[in-house]
Amino acid sequence: MSYNEIAEREKENTDRVFLYVEGERLAAYELSAFVIGQLFPHLHLYVSLNPECPLKLLKVTLPFDWVLESTMYPLAVSDDFAEMTFPEMPESTRSTWRNEFEDYKREFLGINKMLCNK
> Cα–chain-centroid distance for residue 75?
14
Mean pLDDT of 33-45: 88
- Write out pLDDT tens, residues 46-103: 888 877 777 788 899 988 777 777 667 788 888 888 898 888 888 898 889 889 998 9
d(CA 58, CA 71): 21
* pLDDT for 28 beyond 90: yes
Strands 25-29 and 46-49: unpaired
The answer to whether the pTM exceeds 0.95 is no
d(CA 1, CA 6): 7
